[in-house]
Structure 1
Amino acid sequence: MSIRTPAGTTRTIPAGPPSRHQLALMIWLAVFPTLTVLNLVLGNWLSTLGPLPRTFVLTTVAVPIVVYGLMPPLHRLRARLLHPAADT
């Protein structure tokens, strides 16, 4: 959100941290498609592994994708949705 100061300058106020429910939704929106794609792409190779190694491989690949690739854009999207006037 942007506000005008008395000096006429514009200052941006951050959206603040997401609520527990917002964060849960954002994580679900990032994790579900990531795991779906990984299972489709690596499914044949993963099917030869046992449950523990399969889970290890999936989490080793999925966590960095979610944390570094998907969550930052989701946080920006949330901020734009909460404060649409800040875009102008």
Structure 2
Amino acid sequence: MELKQAREEIDKIDNEILQLAAKRLGIAKEIAEIKQKLNLPLGDRERESELLQARIEKMQELGFEDKEFVRQLFAILMKKSKEIQTETMENK
């Protein structure tokens, strides 16, 4: 693979990541609406811990051992999800 092709592949993957992130954040809004209807709290530390551990294990299965990267990546995703859920719950 040449440099140009490799960069084009990275660009394609980046676009897929952005599409998936947008989809994930849209679902976070739906979750907020469900939590509100069920009178559930915004945060669920047990769920967050389980999610993080499962994602670390998945990355290890894929041959990627950098646990800190996975923690940081999902910390960002979960933080933004919580922000969206907070906004959604406050605006209803």
Normalising by structure 1, we get a TM-score of 0.40
Normalized per residue, the structure richer in helix is 2
Larger radius of gyration: 1
Question: Larger relative contact order (C-alpha < 8 A, sep ≥ 6)?
Answer: 2
Normalising by structure 2, we get a TM-score of 0.39
